[in-house]
Amino acid sequence: ALPGAHRALATLHAQAGQVGQAFAELRAELEAHPDDARAQRDAGFIRLVHFGDDLGALRHFREALALGLDDDARLLACAARIE
């Protein structure tokens, strides 16, 4: 799959309120492209907001930061709140 393809589908599913399907697409994106920092971030937000999984979200946020996504204020604020 093209990089970002599953992430784009995840966005469409999330906008339609299909959070579980959106998360499944993000997992597929990360399986195919584990270096997709935005998919890591988005998976973290779904875990945090919709699943209430702070530690799972933090793992995704830390990975996104390690991959260089360090200019996203919402990600940084959420990660700091969890830590």
pLDDT at residue 9, rounded to an integer: 97
Share of the chain above pLDDT 70, in %: 100
pLDDT tier for residue 1 given thresholds of 50, 70 and 90: confident
Residue 65 has pLDDT above 80, yes or no: yes
Give me the half-sphere count of Cα atoms (radius 13 Å) on the Cβ side of residue 62: 9
Average per-residue pLDDT in the chain?
96
Residue 82 has pLDDT above 90, yes or no: yes
pTM reported for the whole predicted model = 0.94
Mutual orientation of helices 54-66 and 37-49 as an angle, nearest 10°? 160
pLDDT at residue 12, rounded to an integer: 97
Q: Which long-range contacts (CB under 8 A, 24 or more apart) does 65-73 make?
A: 67/35, 67/36, 67/37, 67/40, 68/37, 69/37, 69/38, 69/40, 69/41, 72/41
What is the pLDDT averaged over residues 28-57?
Answer: 97
